[in-house]
Amino acid sequence: MDARFVNQLETNDLLERIEEDMRRRLAGRVRDLRLILRDDGLVMRGCVRTYYSKQLAQHAIMELTKLPIRNEIEVT
């Protein structure tokens, strides 16, 4: 099996586990949460109702990973 394919599967599995952990921590505050891994770090996307919830999401992900984070969660 191609090593890049295996690494991609492992990466997808890791992102799914982090997303699930964040959903538990944030108790439904972020709708449509998605994490996207890029060469320059991790991008957070989704929607929240308050800037406080956006900040909570960012701090939750900072506890779970050492990657650079770009918070693109929208406050609506």
> What is the total count of domains within the chain?
1
Name the pTM for this structure. Answer: 0.78
Tell me which residue has tokens 């997808």.
Answer: 12
Q: What pLDDT was estimated at residue 12? A: 79
CATH code for the domain of 36: 3.30.1340.30
Q: What pLDDT was estimated at residue 3? A: 47
Q: What pLDDT was estimated at residue 57? A: 93
Q: Domain of residue 57: give its range.
A: 3-75
Parallel, antiparallel, or unpaired: how do β-strands 31-38 and 41-48 relate? antiparallel
Q: What pLDDT was estimated at residue 2? A: 43
Q: What pLDDT was estimated at residue 1? A: 44
Task: Tell me which residues of the chain have a pLDDT lower than 70.
Answer: 1-10
